[in-house]
Structure 1
Amino acid sequence: MTTKLPAAVRDRALQIAHHEMGHYVVARALGFETGGVTLTVTKDLRHQGGASITLVRPISSMEAMKEHLEARMMVLLAGAMAQTLPSKPSAAKRVDKPKATAILKGEQGAEQDYAKIRELQHLLRNIAYPDTDPASGERIAAELKSMTDRVWIRTQEIIEDQAGTIAKLALALVDGMALVEQWGRAADTYEVVFAGPMLERLRAVQAIASINIGSPEKSRHVFET
């Protein structure tokens, strides 16, 4: 069905499909239960997408809580990062960091992800540094920056490592799009729904290996909060 999509619609659909499959792939790799993925794009390029992720998981210690918060932040970051991956097969699969940051900060509709990340990073900092004086603004900012950079770098590593899988799943999602008949008015919306069980049967999904969050070997400033 991809060839029947107007070129502009297909391009927008591929971008958002990469975004949602970024969330999906990283969530599965980090041990979250996943459901379906949906995508809707109108002829005037309005879009809506979603990847269903179950947040229920056992947390029996403070260390497990910190790992959960980091993993959740990584899943939220993954969408914007994956959206910047080039769609051309011949292009190097690298995250465009400035573009990903711009997407997160609301230029292309991911501001809800960014708001959640900001809440979670403060919660994680409060747990990791419980004795920080609330008046120590510079120290708090440095702690937040250090933790967020660590999560960003680890997420980028996973996105670039799984870029082929993300691209394959994104293309399959777009290939499944169909024009929806609108009762009483002209059809203007292309949409697709990949249910959880359907995704589970795909070899690309079955091949996603579990990943330990771990610590990157190096840290650098990459994300301005």
Structure 2
Amino acid sequence: MTNKMPPAVRDRAWQIAHHEMGHYVVARALGFETGGVTLTVTMDLRHQGGASISLIRPIASLEAMREHLEARIMVLLAGAMAQTLPSKPSAAKRVDKAKATTILKGEQGAEQDYAKIRELQHLLRNIAYPDTDPVLGERIAAQLKAMTDRLWIRTQDIIEDQAQSIAELAGALVDGMVIVEQWGRAADTYEVVFTGPMLERLRAVQAIPSLPVWTDSCSDAVQQCK
């Protein structure tokens, strides 16, 4: 159906498909249970997308809570990062940090991810620095930035390493889009639903590796934020 999709609609669908598959791939790599992915794009370029991710995890210690929060922030960052991956197959698969930041802070749906990130950042910082005086605003801001920078770099590494899988899954999602019949008016909406079992059967999903939140090379950085 994508060969009949208007180019502008297809381009928007491609971007949002990458966004949702960025969430999906990073969540799966970091050990979250994943479900289905959906995407809807209208002729006037309005869109909705979603990747089902279970937040149910056993947390038996403060350390486990810290790692869960770090992983969750990384999953939230991943969508905007994946959305900036270049569309040309020959281009280097690199995240555009400026564009990703704009997407997170913009008004295209990702601002909900950003609001969650901001709240979780403070919770993570409160755990890392339980004795902080609330009046030390500049120090708190510096601590938040240092934590965010480390999480950003780790997420970017995963996105760029898994860029081919993200692109393959996003392409499959867009290729599966069909125009929805509308009773009493012209059809103007393309949509697709990939259920969890459908995704589980895809080679690109099966190839997603299980990754730790932090690699050995990141251990020093992690110690700095405790």
Q: Deviations over 1:58-99 (max 9, x none)?
A: 000000000000000000000000000011111110000000
Give matches, 1:7-18, under 5 Å.
Answer: 7-18=7-18
Residues of 2 paired with 1:146 and 1:53: CA distance?
Answer: 27
Give matches, 1:42-81, under 5 Å.
Answer: 42-81=42-81
What residue number does 2:194 align with?
Answer: 194
Residues of 2 paired with 1:219 and 1:177: CA distance?
Answer: 45
Give the 4+ runs in structure 1 shifted more than 4 A: 215-220
- With normalisation by structure 1, the TM-score equals 0.95
Count residues in correspondence. 220
Residues of 2 paired with 1:131 and 1:106: CA distance?
Answer: 34
Q: Deviations over 1:35-55 (max 9, x none)?
A: 000000000111110000000
What residue number does 1:114 align with?
Answer: 114
CA offset at residue 109 of structure 1?
2.5
Residues of 2 paired with 1:87 and 1:36: CA distance?
Answer: 24
Give matches, 1:1-225, under 5 Å.
Answer: 1-214=1-214, 217=218
Q: Deviations over 1:194-213 (max 9, x none)?
A: 00000001011011010001
Helix, strand or coil for the counterpart of 2:155? helix
CA offset at residue 151 of structure 1?
0.5
Give me the CA root mean square deviation.
1.4
The answer for unaligned runs of 5 or more in structure 2 is 222-226
CA offset at residue 108 of structure 1?
3.0
CA contact (8 A) 1:153 1:219 kept: no
- With normalisation by structure 2, the TM-score equals 0.95
- Mark the CA change 1:144 to 1:219 in structure 2 (over 3 Å): closer, same or farther: farther
CA offset at residue 218 of structure 1?
10
The answer for unaligned runs of 5 or more in structure 1 is 221-225
